Amino acid sequence: MRTVLESYIRTMTAAVLGLCTAVLISPSSVYAQLLTFSKQELTDYTAQSTFERLPDGRPKVPEDLLERARELSSEEVWAVLEEKGFHNQYADGFQILHPEKPMVGRAFTVQFMPERPDVKGVASAKAKERGLGPLTNQTAIDMLQPGDALIVDLFGKKVNGTIVGDNLFYYVMKATHSGGLVVDGSIRDLNGISEIAMPAYFKAVDPTPIGNVMLTGINIPVRIGGVTVMPGDLVVGDREGVYFVPPQLVKDVLDRADEIHIHDEWTKKKFDEMKYKSREIYSTPADPALQQEYKEYLKKRLEEIRKQRSPK
Amino acid sequence: MRTVLESYIRTMTAAVLGLCTAVLISPSSVYAQLLTFSKQELTDYTAQSTFERLPDGRPKVPEDLLERARELSSEEVWAVLEEKGFHNQYADGFQILHPEKPMVGRAFTVQFMPERPDVKGVASAKAKERGLGPLTNQTAIDMLQPGDALIVDLFGKKVNGTIVGDNLFYYVMKATHSGGLVVDGSIRDLNGISEIAMPAYFKAVDPTPIGNVMLTGINIPVRIGGVTVMPGDLVVGDREGVYFVPPQLVKDVLDRADEIHIHDEWTKKKFDEMKYKSREIYSTPADPALQQEYKEYLKKRLEEIRKQRSPK
Amino acid sequence: MRTVLESYIRTMTAAVLGLCTAVLISPSSVYAQLLTFSKQELTDYTAQSTFERLPDGRPKVPEDLLERARELSSEEVWAVLEEKGFHNQYADGFQILHPEKPMVGRAFTVQFMPERPDVKGVASAKAKERGLGPLTNQTAIDMLQPGDALIVDLFGKKVNGTIVGDNLFYYVMKATHSGGLVVDGSIRDLNGISEIAMPAYFKAVDPTPIGNVMLTGINIPVRIGGVTVMPGDLVVGDREGVYFVPPQLVKDVLDRADEIHIHDEWTKKKFDEMKYKSREIYSTPADPALQQEYKEYLKKRLEEIRKQRSPK
Amino acid sequence: MRTVLESYIRTMTAAVLGLCTAVLISPSSVYAQLLTFSKQELTDYTAQSTFERLPDGRPKVPEDLLERARELSSEEVWAVLEEKGFHNQYADGFQILHPEKPMVGRAFTVQFMPERPDVKGVASAKAKERGLGPLTNQTAIDMLQPGDALIVDLFGKKVNGTIVGDNLFYYVMKATHSGGLVVDGSIRDLNGISEIAMPAYFKAVDPTPIGNVMLTGINIPVRIGGVTVMPGDLVVGDREGVYFVPPQLVKDVLDRADEIHIHDEWTKKKFDEMKYKSREIYSTPADPALQQEYKEYLKKRLEEIRKQRSPK
Amino acid sequence: MRTVLESYIRTMTAAVLGLCTAVLISPSSVYAQLLTFSKQELTDYTAQSTFERLPDGRPKVPEDLLERARELSSEEVWAVLEEKGFHNQYADGFQILHPEKPMVGRAFTVQFMPERPDVKGVASAKAKERGLGPLTNQTAIDMLQPGDALIVDLFGKKVNGTIVGDNLFYYVMKATHSGGLVVDGSIRDLNGISEIAMPAYFKAVDPTPIGNVMLTGINIPVRIGGVTVMPGDLVVGDREGVYFVPPQLVKDVLDRADEIHIHDEWTKKKFDEMKYKSREIYSTPADPALQQEYKEYLKKRLEEIRKQRSPK
Amino acid sequence: MRTVLESYIRTMTAAVLGLCTAVLISPSSVYAQLLTFSKQELTDYTAQSTFERLPDGRPKVPEDLLERARELSSEEVWAVLEEKGFHNQYADGFQILHPEKPMVGRAFTVQFMPERPDVKGVASAKAKERGLGPLTNQTAIDMLQPGDALIVDLFGKKVNGTIVGDNLFYYVMKATHSGGLVVDGSIRDLNGISEIAMPAYFKAVDPTPIGNVMLTGINIPVRIGGVTVMPGDLVVGDREGVYFVPPQLVKDVLDRADEIHIHDEWTKKKFDEMKYKSREIYSTPADPALQQEYKEYLKKRLEEIRKQRSPK
């Protein structure tokens, strides 16, 4: 009988501890944020990713893929995502800092909502109970990891919707190793910020500091324009806008991009010969000889690229 | 030793069951929605309300206060909320159906986000596991209670952002006893809807059905314009826009409104006498005799109103 | 040999006359408009319509179908058009005169472009050569037939983009038997116009008369918002916007609308019983008994409708 | 020598008193407003008006002309003003209260500017020196006369840009005998206001009271949209927008309007006969017989109208 | 009698062949586009141009004038066009690629309209009948000549309104010798495009390819903003926007621009002397001595410019 | 008796002359502008400034403070102004020429209003009476002093709202020593202007010259966006927008800015050490040792700065 009892106790204890742990390790519960999205939920909802995970549960797109992603443009991402049925992963309409610099990072998401004293009061009390200070933009910023891109839903707020000024922008640059910033809201101190070499996408600039808002979620799903961004998405920004690539599609996107780069190279080379109408070459040559020529070119260049990439 | 053990077992069991119950009774867990806000959290964050609660945990502003709220206008709500430090409870910019009809209801909130096949797939699998169908607008609509106002965050989406057409609008009217609808998105079939006597506030009208979105939360905090709406807020709509009144402030708002109504009555009566400049009467008369006159009028009218309201 | 010669002459003569006729009977050539779309072209491009044609070549949606179309709403048209692959037939964003009045008519299209003295000069010379006056809005208006709806591309122009004031609006009402007006531009004299019982859809109102534009096409394909409108399209306007239905789809749209009307009737009847959740009834009942009930209801009502419509 | 001295004294005294008087009778100096426009300046700049003047110096368009102006529409005003070289007298883009009710009044102008504590402090000190209270919206409102229309430049401000709520709107209605309100800004308490029978044109509605602004001018020239409004202008509002008619043109506008009304009458009568294309009648008949017919009709109707108007 | 018959046959044959030729040589008939504008019509409507013509009928502004036009700015074009009564030749509101590079080219116009399956089906059938493929953006692009600027009406479409990506942009650059691109629509692949040295004016950027549209006209009159662009117009783009100059006015515009350049030179030189108020020099000096000085300067500089331009 | 009389005469004479002088030295009376703001009024309303004054009465922020102001950014100005209760001193939404160049100057204000022939006629007659020409943009421009920034209210007008083209822009640059331009309106000849090294903030660019407006005030209070600009305000423009600093606050703003610069320096230095979370350093370190470190750093750097600034 004892074993039964013991085993029962063990099971129950484990269950309770498991639940408690699950609760405790999720950033939401630690920081008393309004909307919760536990580490378990994050793991469940991003289960298609086969990459390692960051301690906070986000899929960790590997370094070498981040590196390759610096060559991506919006069109190349579009091709694969469209094919896979992801029609809502692109956001634009931003002012872009350093448009000539590609932005590549792992999505670290933050959500703000308009302030209500009653809700904020409860959140503060909950935080205090756990010996914590109130949630602020710096709470989130201080959790950033190298390679992260900070993705902020400030619901397009301009006045008092400034996620950072130049000091915190500098900190984000240091902490993420220039990962980047996307804010559906504003920044302040553009003069200072424009001297710091991290890509940033923002809706407006304003001299006021952030205010009249509550931080309601860290690393929860957030909406940026027409995109549902999941923590850990690969964030790719170019001169046009920002693509949020689900981790499980990153490899496909990058491989396709290699082919598109080579196709562009070849197409322009043929156009340089000045012998063809555009339709004879692009998007696919009708002439079988040209098709063959391209096929060989593609094969050769892909091999070169792979060789170049393989570690020496 | 037994008692210790037994008591331990009881405690653990209770803890586990408690946790499970907490999870099970919240609509979020039942319906496998992306963002969770448990019944416990809802209760915590609306703890200042002393009203009874609906089975789903929302504060239940009583019927008689709902009735009195039909006389409210935006300005009257503004006065009390501003004083109490609630600066972000008003949303406008809507097209209004039946602007001559006041809207009064208890907020039943629904949130949608742009569709992602990966997230939707996981949510569907989770729902299936629990023997449920996928979350749709009708899932939420079928949970509505008499007195509810349906508050929907569809992030301003027009095409495929239509929360209801005339059939479901008719159902909502029946289910809520004409409580009302506020959607940061669109509706379809305005011809049919305009014949149904329920107030509605929407951003646009479109012939397409709802699509390309996921229902991500029921009775969670949602953002409508610059307002964080909590489930159970008193929703008051007039010709201008919509106020979301925290339940704990409803009584104050209504009492103040009585005084404002009487003040307006008296002010207009004095203006009708054509003897005064506006500043001599409004907002407060400088003349002590007039002040006294008003004080007595106010007292008399308040008594009349209370008598009228008291159950016979 | 003679017969060969004679037959040759006959053929050539016929060819020349045919060409000349083709040219002469098209309104464009008669009126020296800038962009030409001959009667033959109109016939070719609307060849799928099996209806009779108006003298100017437009398909003539029959009177009884126009009559039935008065019951249509945007959603009902959407259903069939979407299914048939017509995704671009709806325009909205208009101010609507008499929104409670349905608009139904055959599209009579007119296009204006910004004035250029050189082009206008040539057009006037060409018109003069043929003994005609210059093209104006009245040239087009005077060609309107009963049952027409006047569809005008004035490229959203407000100032001097007023297709009619109250006098010509009155004339259009008389000439078309209240067919209607859709203008991507403006009208003038809203005070006078609002007393005239013809539906109208316009982008703006302005006190200036039309000016600084050239009439460049009558009954040519025109663009209204995101729609390519073909002369002879069935124009259906409701409280939301305007649908342009290709004539070959009119019958399908109307038949489907009958079913949708009946489906709405039945759905609301069932909701009135207050026994069902919305999903149990709408859009399709899961319960086979309810399905059967609906099937019978549909059959019965369709018969009633047909009987009612058949000429006595 | 005495006379010289005496005459000198008299002249000087008169000069000083004249200057002082000029200063004292102008509302600006009385009320310490920021921008001054003395009664003399007002008189100079509106010198073309031959009408009597109000005590504050504004031209007083006579009652009987105000009465006739109730029949005016924007198009009719446009015709004369355009001809006289006044291209900038029309403003639109307003929300209109009671669009079916014409607005007619004499412009009483008020200007606000964004608040600055330093400027406001000086203005208050100046006012106090003269034993006056600070300038507020009620200062201006309490100066309104029967027949006035209150014209307010609040630079399009919505939040805290509400010139009146329902109490003061009621007062304005009483004071001006329903003259009207035009505000490039907002109003509050639309519910209450919509029950008061005075025409009003406003850019927005908001629940906040007026604030964060300074009243900087009363009866000075103000800008409303693209119009420079002079105090005393005839204000005419219809379903489209508002015309500000310089007093010296009022008679011409009204006489021309009589002819346009008759022309419209006749044109529609001819269209009712269904014998003519629009161009045969409108805008001018080509047929001399029709021209004659119209000429006689015009003469007869003008006489009838004049007879009807002449005092019995 | 024979001669009569023969001459008849000859005449008829010539007539038929003439008509056929007319039809065949126009790009519209060759490509089965919806809206036709034959080579003859193009020639008629641009008859004021005395320049040679391109094989497709467009006036060919000569190379040396194109070269001189590289110095033009919008203001200089404005002066002559306004004077000649052309008030609608300027379009702006574009995003500009390489704003520091002037754009100069001969307008090659292309028009798209929203897709309709019925119309597209007929067009495809017609094309097939003539042994041609369907009309696409590449059909038009492959007709471009050196010196052309591609002018595209895509009715402001952003998503699927991308006339070219970087491959076809590269082709257009090669084919037109960097003539330029103006699209009332969008482009894709801005990253790639921004490295190609051809000026471009576009409304938006989007990652999607062109779609859901039909090419409806090549080298027909098109509308870009408030301008009616005729094929063969001189297109001049600077940092502000784009001017479309009718060929017959090009010489006047360029000669006037020479004078304006010299006037600017002289004016700034005088300002550099720091002796004058602006009104003493600009726009015309009042002092006869200065007038004389300027006259001589103008004469001298004009001669220098002419000398510099004359072929050695 | 004589002395009485004499003294009376003297007093009266002085009064009259004083009044006349007051009138004569104000630019408004000299130039017959519509809205007057005398030198006395200007002095009264800017009495808090203890700086010297320019001959036209404007406070003259000293050269050395102008110099220091070149380092200011919007955020730094915001801090002091907010604290002092000035919430409405910032305007943005401009296109910025040379955003990398700070703009610093003393506000010289100009106001335009829509043209009215009657008002313009009176103004011209008044000007003629005094032997002056009509008021134009050049009247104001020719009054500019070194160190001025030209601030123009053209009510957002684009077409014909161009305050200067390249010639007058060049003159303004020369006259103000590159002080700067802010126009709520447009400029023309951006190509020419972009080569001139003076900062400028404008709403639009257009090829038309200024027209259809009247200059109604020089150095009167004007509204730019949400700011009441007083003549003599310190104008500070950066990459974000423009601050108008009341002269009496300039010293405080600059001193605070020194501290903010040092605080930024120190903060970034600490972040560079990579040992701290952002909250440990920013905005204020919690650790007393760090606080002390900062205090000493601040003191040292302030001394260095002062030494550097003190004249050798």
**Peptide bond just before F7 cis, omega within 30 deg:** no
Q: Note whether A171 contacts F279, CB cutoff 8 Å.
A: no
Both tokens of residue E122? 């007929």
More reliable by pLDDT, A29 or D260? D260
Is the per-residue pLDDT at A9 higher than 90?
Answer: no
In chain C, the percentage of residues whose pLDDT exceeds 90 is 83
Q: Which residues contact F121 (CB under 8 A, 6 or more apart)?
A: none
For chain E, report the end-to-end CA distance as a whole number of angstroms.
64
d(CA D64, CA D77): 17
Q: Which residue has the tokens 């003297």?
A: F10
At residue E8, the pLDDT reads: 56
CB–CB of F240/A206 below 8 Å?
yes
- Give the residue numbers in A contacting E (CB under 8 Å), as ranges: 73-75, 77-78, 90, 92, 238-241, 243, 264, 267-268, 271-272, 274, 277-279, 282-283
Subunit partners of chain A (3 or more CB pairs within 8 A): B, E, F
Query: pLDDT digit string (tens) for B252-277?
Result: 999 999 999 999 999 999 999 999 99
Q: Are strands F90-92 and B200-205 parallel, antiparallel or unpaired?
A: unpaired
At residue D6, the pLDDT reads: 63
At residue D9, the pLDDT reads: 55
Q: Are strands F181-187 and F200-205 parallel, antiparallel or unpaired?
A: parallel
Helix (H) / strand (E) element for B10: namely helix B2-25
Both tokens of residue A61? 């797109």
> SS in 3 state form for chain C?
CHHHHHHHHHHHHHHHHHHHHHHHHCHHHHHCCCCECCHHHHHHHCCCCCCCECCCCCECCCHHHHHHHCCCCHHHHHHHHHHCCCCCCEEECCEEECCCCCEEEEEEEEEEEECCHHHHHHHHHHHHHCCCCCCCHHHHHCCCCCCEEEEEECCCCCCCCECCCHHHHHHHHHHHCCCCEEEEEEECCHHHHCCCCCCEEEEEECCCCCCCEEEEEECCCEEECCEEECCCCEEEECCCEEEEECHHHHHHHHHHHHHHHHHHHHHHHHHHCCCCCHHHHCCCCCCHHHHHHHHHHHHHHHHHHHHHHCCC
Give the lowest-confidence range in B270-279, C81-90, C115-124, F121-130. F121-130
**Integer Rg of chain F from CA:** 23
Q: Which residue has the tokens 């001169």?
A: A239
DSSP state of B32: T
Is the per-residue pLDDT at A151 higher than 90?
Answer: yes
Chain F partners within 8 Å of E239 (Cβ): 190-191, 194, 205
Residue of chain C nearest B176, judged by CA positions: C274
CB–CB of B57/B73 below 8 Å?
no
At residue E9, the pLDDT reads: 55
pTM over 0.90: yes
CB–CB of A150/A144 below 8 Å?
yes
Query: pLDDT digit string (tens) for E195-234?
Result: 999 999 999 999 999 999 999 999 999 999 999 999 999 9
d(CA C184, CA C153): 5
Below-70 pLDDT ranges, chain D: 1-32, 312
Total residues found in chain C within this entry? 312
Query: pLDDT digit string (tens) for C143-193?
Result: 999 999 999 999 999 999 999 999 999 999 999 999 999 999 999 999 999
Residue of chain B nearest A84, judged by CA positions: B117
Chain C partners within 8 Å of B207 (Cβ): 74-75, 77-78, 90, 240-241, 243
Cα B65 to the chain's mean position, in Å? 13
At residue A245, the pLDDT reads: 98
DSSP assignment of chain A equals -HHHHHHHHHHHHHHHHHHHHHHHHSHHHHHT-SSB--HHHHHHHTTT--S-B-TTS-B---HHHHHHHTT--HHHHHHHHHHTT----EEE--EEESTTS-EEEEEEEEEEEE--HHHHHHHHHHHHHTT-----HHHHHTT--TTEEEEEE-TT--TT-BS--HHHHHHHHHHHTS--EEEEEEES-HHHHTTS---EEEEEE-SSPS-SEEEEEESS-EEETTEEEPTTPEEEE-SSEEEEE-GGGHHHHHHHHHHHHHHHHHHHHHHHTT-S-HHHHSSS-SSHHHHHHHHHHHHHHHHHHHHHHS--
DSSP assignment of F76-144 equals HHHHHHHHTT----EEE--EEESTTS-EEEEEEEEEEEE--HHHHHHHHHHHHHTT-----HHHHHTT-
At residue B81, the pLDDT reads: 97
CB–CB of F154/F183 below 8 Å?
yes
Tell me what the mean pLDDT of segment C124-134 comes to: 85
At residue F127, the pLDDT reads: 84
At residue F17, the pLDDT reads: 44
Residue of chain C nearest E219, judged by CA positions: C35
At residue D144, the pLDDT reads: 98
d(CA D118, CA F246): 8
* Touch test F–C: 3 Cβ pairs or more under 8 Å: no
At residue D18, the pLDDT reads: 42
Q: Note whether C16 contacts E16, CB cutoff 8 Å.
A: yes
Below-70 pLDDT ranges, chain B: 1-32, 312
Q: Note whether F240 contacts A190, CB cutoff 8 Å.
A: yes
Both tokens of residue F110? 């100009």
pLDDT tier, A17 (very low <50, low <70, confident <90, very high otherwise): very low
DSSP state of E248: G
Average model confidence (pLDDT) across chain C: 91
Query: pLDDT digit string (tens) for D232-288?
Result: 999 999 999 999 999 999 999 999 999 999 999 999 999 999 999 999 999 999 899
Q: Which of C35, C83, C118, C216 to mutate to test the interface with E (most CBs of E within 10 A)?
A: C118
At residue C28, the pLDDT reads: 43
Q: Tell me the sheet residues that pair with C184.
A: C153
Below-70 pLDDT ranges, chain F: 1-32, 312
At residue E217, the pLDDT reads: 95
Chain F partners within 8 Å of D118 (Cβ): 45-46, 48, 86, 230, 246, 248
d(CA E40, CA B250): 77
CA torsion B103→B108→B109→B110, rounded to 10°? Answer: -110
Both tokens of residue E295? 């006259």
At residue C16, the pLDDT reads: 44
Chain A partners within 8 Å of E188 (Cβ): 74-75
d(CA D20, CA D16): 6
Query: pLDDT digit string (tens) for C206-242?
Result: 999 999 999 999 999 999 999 999 999 999 999 999 9
Q: Note whether F88 contacts D116, CB cutoff 8 Å.
A: yes
d(CA F122, CA D290): 45
Which of C171, C192, C205 faces D278 most closely, judged by CB atoms? C171
Q: Which of B116, B213, B224 to mutate to test the interface with A (most CBs of A within 10 A)?
A: B116
Closest CA to B239 of B94, B67, B107: B94
Total residues found in chain A within this entry? 312
d(CA F266, CA B81): 42
d(CA D142, CA D136): 10
pLDDT tier, E20 (very low <50, low <70, confident <90, very high otherwise): very low
Least Cα separation, residue E122 to chain A (angstroms): 23
Tell me what the mean pLDDT of segment A239-254 comes to: 98
CB–CB of F205/F169 below 8 Å?
no
Indicate the residue type of D143: M
Q: Which residues contact E217 (CB under 8 A, 6 or more apart)?
A: E28, E33, E34, E35, E36, E37, E109, E110, E111
